[in-house]
Structures are given as structure tokens and as C-alpha cells.
Amino acid sequence: MARPRLTTGDRLDGFLIGERVHAGGMALLYSVTHPAHDLPMLMKVPRLFEGEDPAAIVSFEMEGMILPRLSGPHVPRFVAGAGFERQPYIVMERVAASSLEGRMREAPWPVEEVALLGARIAAALDALHRRHVIHLDIKPGNILLREDGTAVLVDFGLSRHDQLPDLMEEEFRLPYGSAPYMAPEQVMGIRSDPRSDLFALGALMYHMATGALPFGNPSRMKGLKRRLWRDPVPPRRLRPEVPPALQEVILRCLEVEPDRRHPTAAQLLLDLRNPEGVALTQRAGKLRRDGFGAVLRRRFNPEAQPRFRRPVAQGIAAAPILAVAVALSREGGEEGAGLSEELRRAVARMLPTLPGARLACLNVLRLNRIQLDTTLDAEGRSKHARRLAELRHWAAPLGLPEGRVTFHVLEAVDPAAALLEFVTVNPVDHVVLGARGSSALRQHVGSVSAAVSARAPCTVTVVRPRTRED
């Protein structure tokens, strides 16, 4: 039987109860210590008092199932837990981090900070989704920031695990979440799409960029449903200094239909970290909300309502990030040209099996270790810009639409280190690169493919040029 209330100085399964540090709508948090654990800890207990929302019990059960299955820098470490036979509780790491909630009073932020923090949260969501979990309550109070800037997600009471029963969906018909950030499909009771978290992140970035909430803070179902047919005021209308690329990303996140958002958190992360590669559509230049006619069509068209359900793992598998390190024709003469063609053939064979894949075309502009580098070539043209143009030319035969392919020239002394940094910072799923057959060149370039193959945190395909006998 649960205790009516925990107080400072109580002991529960060896945990000494300290001060109460937070009282939420569904649970209470206490600082605790234990002789067997030397890390700072919090104990979470559900609200079980008279008149409390029964969803508090169900959400506690969900968190008790999900949190022990998570690990890594983006979530608090699970320590211990107990069910409802006696006093239910979850003990977890007390993360040494500050809550984003306090910083929201400073909005609007510098636009560079909006993109930087958005990318950090997207990285946390990508890690979470790869563990088969959708958070479904992304808001400032559920995001902590470590000293190194790493985003930590907390409070998994409303979350869904792809491989566990969804008790919230089974037992309740009303949507649960935070009104300013809740995705349209959540409002309609759909809890199975990871892109709901991307919508919430888009609403959060909108708030950071403009100081306003894109859909207000409605308290009734009627107000929540308005986001199904009424688009927000474009960020650039409220704050002209918001770059077109950032508006493009934010408004894409806030699309009503999940299929029109980024397919995965990893692809959103790639756009936020590489704004120069964002494909700009009409969203980027939009300065007014949609007209009354468009709103009416969406309002009274049942087909416009989101209804798509997609398991987390399936969604990630269908939309990976594929990176290809392109050897341009100028690099290695005839052999380099042949390798460039083989790389394109290899990528062309992969893409039809990955219809939602994003292709990142990479080239490393090698810098000198000691001598000063010049930014212009012998003809007075920018080396960086010229290579970008050559990458576009290389990718043109693949026939990919804008938005599915980006181009990146990495300037570095060490090509292998530059490629490894890119595929690590941007959560690339598969990298394709070439290895030359010439023994003279292999000492210079072959070591790059070997280093990347040995250390890349993803699948690596090494392509070699075809050998032809005379």
C-alpha cells in the first residue's frame, strides 16, 4: 500500500528521502541518497492523493517500463524502481544540467542559438527514436542542458515504446501532452509517429526565434484542433532577421501532415547543422498566413486530417542519411575519374531501395599543415565554390530532387578525420567512399578509406575502380 506522503528523513528501500525539488501535475520529485550509489539522484513518485488524475498512475507505469531500457548522454540514468505493491517510485540520476524552461523567458534568442540548440535537441531525439521510443511531450521543462551543451530529455510518462504496450492509448481517449507543442496527429489520438516529436521541436524553435507560441496555449479541444487547419504566422513576419533557411526548417517541422515534415530527426539535424544545404521552398519566403480559402478547404476536408501511423524503427530505416565521399575528376587523373564514376554507380544502385534516403555528397579540400593556404585557384576562382559546383555536376545524373541531396566541401588537413567528424556529428547511417588501386596513391588515399572503415560509427561501403585487362 502506497504511503500517503513522503517526508524528508523517511527511508524507502534504503533510499534516504531529502527535500522535495519539484511538484508536477502527475508526479513529485525528491532528492535521495543511498549508501550503495555515489551519484546525485532523484526519486519520482506518482500523485496518488484523493481526486488526482488516474492518468498519473498509467504514465508512471509507462515511464517505469521505458526508462530502464534507455541509456546514453541524452537521458538520465535509471537506478531503481518499485511498483504499486507498496510505494511506487523510480530513482534516476539527477542530471547536472539546467532546464530550458528558465531560458525561454529570454526569447527571442539570437538566430544562431536557435539553430544550435535545435540541432542539439534533434540529436537527442534521434538517439531516442533509434531506441524505439517517441517522447510525445517535448517542451522546455522536459529538456535539460548539460554544461557541454548536450540536450537531455526527461519525463517519459507520456512516451510510447514501439515494442511495449501503449497503456496511455489503451486506457484514455483524450490527448495528453503540452498544448503549445502538441502535434496535430496527437490531438487526434495518434501516438505512433516519431515525427510528432519533430513538430514539437519546430514549435519550440518558433518560440525561441520569435518569442511567441505558434498556436498559442489553448486549454480546450476546440483550440487544440485549430492547428489542423490554421497555419502559424511565419517567423520572418514577426522577426525579419530570421534567415530563410531557418524559417524553411521551422515551418517544415510545423506541417500538419507528418509526411511533409522531415522524415527523421537525423535529417532535421543535418539541415540545422548545415543551413547552406537546406532546399528553400515557398515556406522560406512566406510572410503571411494562408488565405481564408485555403483554411476553409483544410477545415472541411477530412482527407487533410493526419491519419498516418508508422512504427519508429520502420520510419528510421526508410529514411537513412547516406553520405558519399566523392573523388572529383581533378583528384588522381584518369584513375580518379574512373573511381568517381564507380562511386556514382554504387550510389545509384542503393538509392532505389531507400526511397526516403537523404544523400550528402562530400569532398575534402585538403589544407597544408605548415604553409599558408590560398582560397583561390590559379584562375582566380574560389576553390570551395568550384568544388561545390563539381559536386552538383557529379550528382546530377542521379536525378534526385532538391531537398534529397546536399553538398558539403570539408576543408581539413586530415581527410579521414574530416570525414569521420562529419558522419559522427551528423548521424549518418551509411557512408560510401572510394579506395584507389594504384599502390603509389594508396599510401596517400587508401589510408583514408581504411581509417574511416575502422572508426566510423555507421555502415561503410568501400568502392574500388574496375580493373580491365587489355
Mean of all residue pLDDT scores within the chain: 87
Please state which of the four CATH numbers 3.40.50.620, 3.30.1330.40, 3.40.50.300, 3.40.1260.10 is assigned to the domain occupying 320-463. 3.40.50.620
Task: Say what the pLDDT of residue 332 is.
Answer: 53
pLDDT of residue 321: 92
What are the residue ranges in the chain where pLDDT is below 70?
1-4, 49-53, 302-315, 329-336, 369-373, 375, 377-378, 436-446, 466-470
Show the CA angle centred on residue 223, arms to residues 217 and 226, nearest 5°: 110
- Model confidence over 33-85: pLDDT tens digits? 999 999 999 999 988 765 566 778 888 999 999 999 999 999 999 999 998 88
Q: What is the pLDDT of residue 437?
A: 62
Q: Domain 98-317 is of which CATH architecture? A: Orthogonal Bundle (1.10)
Taking the C-alpha atoms of residue 189 and residue 192, their distance in angstroms, rounded to an integer, is 9
Q: Where are the domains of the chain?
A: 11-93, 98-317, 320-463
- pLDDT for 302 equals 60
Residue-level pLDDT at 5 = 73
pLDDT, residue 427, reads 87
**Which CATH number applies to 11-93?**
3.30.200.20
pLDDT value of residue 441: 46
pLDDT computed for residue 466 by the predictor: 67
